[in-house]
Amino acid sequence: MTIPLTKQQGEAVSPESLVASARDLIPLIKAHAQEGEDNTCVPSVVVDAMNEAGLFRVLQPKAYGGYEMHPQVFYDVQMALAEADMSTAWIYGVIAIHNFQIALFDPQAMEDVWATDTSVLISSSYQPVGKVERVEGGFNLSGQWGFSSGCDHCEWVFLGAMIPPLNDGDPPDMRTFMLPRSDYEILDTWHVMGLKATGSKDIVVKGAFVPEYRTHKAADGFAVTNPGNTGDEAPIYRIPWAQLFTRAVSTSTIGATQGALDEFLGIMAKKVSSNTGKASRDDPPALEAAALAMQVIDELKLVLERDMNYIMDCVDNGREIPLSERIKFRHNSSLVPSRCIEALDAMITECGGKGIYLANPIVRRFLDAHAGRAHVANQPYRYAHNLAGTHMGQPNQDFFV
């Protein structure tokens, strides 16, 4: 097996060096952010730079050139990237997280993707909208899926579908199907108000064969009974799949809010109100908006890092993560965009009339955060009902925890 080495792999790689590498890319990301917005796709020069820096390898198995690091490193990298541009951080999150999920498949799936090049990337759309037919050795898959973020930069895709039950009364069998680029088309439907540069286009499949080993059961992800869980894998691969994925689509909002706060402080330090003639740095509502953003960012980072450390402590020590905690962590993740939007809305308001101009750098953060809030994993009422209900004796209603 030939594994091309990145620059990072030839040097000592530490969590600190990876986060520093992400921060080193901030000027490049900012310089190409408008190009990404205009073309509805993060430019290849940015994705190539992230790949060269080894950022996509944080959760990738060591057998295929990865680092198998604590997941908090992955989220710290994502937040750093989001300080420059949330679209870039979004596609980083939803692409790099696949380098974790593929380790849960039958090991042959990883060999199919990375046998000759371990830098190959995978996009996804988990909507269970595919049409599945059982055939010898696997399945025939057809359909059209939306929201495949960063798909233009990827050579494989994960797609969701429900497999028809073999017998009446059998439980649903939702799976992720893995297909190579030759088996699908990309349809440009991505014309949106926020997260424009994510290029979250549609994937079209017209009768592709998917072998059994290139599928992953949702039930296995929940129960941690994945084909890749052979007993000698790194502890991180014993984390329930949903616990990592849901944060991959919420955490970037924290970094975007930090970036907006930095910009807001710079604007307010120089701004003079056209109504009062007073400096905005002395205006109580502006100061309160900045303080709110600081508090929200601090709170979210503390809570989410606490949650992930708890998860890692469990898997490192061979303990099962209680379902009650998994449900709570799912709810905590879903709240992130809403809390960030509260802070972003306050800062936009205090920008006054200048706040409605597209040239205001905070506007992109504001729109991106609202777009991210639309993701099903970021709609907290769904998970609040389950969290509170289970504490009142109701059965768990969410198996993506």
The tens digit of pLDDT for each residue in 279-325 reads: 777 889 999 999 999 999 999 999 999 999 999 999 999 999 999 99
* Structure confidence at residue 16 (pLDDT): 98
pLDDT at 268 over 70: yes
| Radius of gyration, CA atoms only, the chain | 21
* Residue matched to tokens 């955060």: 369
Half-sphere exposure at residue 104, Cβ-oriented, CA atoms within 13 angstroms: 31
| Mean local confidence (pLDDT), 396-401 | 96
Decide: 19 and 65 in contact? Cβ < 8 Å.
Answer: no
String of DSSP letters for 16-66: HHHHHHHHHTHHHHHHHHHHHHHHTS--HHHHHHHHHTTGGGTTS-GGGT-
Mean of the per-residue pLDDT values of the chain: 95
- Three-state DSSP at 399 gives coil
pLDDT at 6 over 70: no
166-195 tens-digit pLDDT:
888 888 899 999 999 999 999 999 999 999
Which residues make beta-bridge pairs with 96?
none
At 4, is the pLDDT very low, low, confident or very high (cuts 50, 70, 90)?
Answer: very low
Phi, psi angles (nearest 5°) of residue 131: -100, 125
For the chain, domains (ranges, CATH) are 8-105 (1.10.540.10), 121-216 (2.40.110.10), 241-390 (1.20.140.10)
Type of residue found at 192: V
Query: Can you give the three-state secondary structure of 116-174, one letter per residue?
Result: CCCCCCEEEEEEEEEEEEEECCEEEEEEEEEEECCHHHCCEEEEEEEECCCCCCCCCEE
| Mean local confidence (pLDDT), 115-141 | 97
pLDDT at 9 over 60: no
CA dist 60 and 97 (Å) reads 9
| Angle CA 78–372–45, to nearest 5 | 45
pTM above 0.85, yes or no: yes
pLDDT at 11 over 60: no
Q: Give the list of residues 6+ apart from residue 292 with CB closer than 8 angstroms, or none.
A: 342, 343, 346
Which residues make beta-bridge pairs with 148?
201
Which residues make beta-bridge pairs with 122?
156
* Structure confidence at residue 278 (pLDDT): 67
Decide: 150 and 179 in contact? Cβ < 8 Å.
Answer: no
At 391, is the pLDDT very low, low, confident or very high (cuts 50, 70, 90)?
Answer: very high
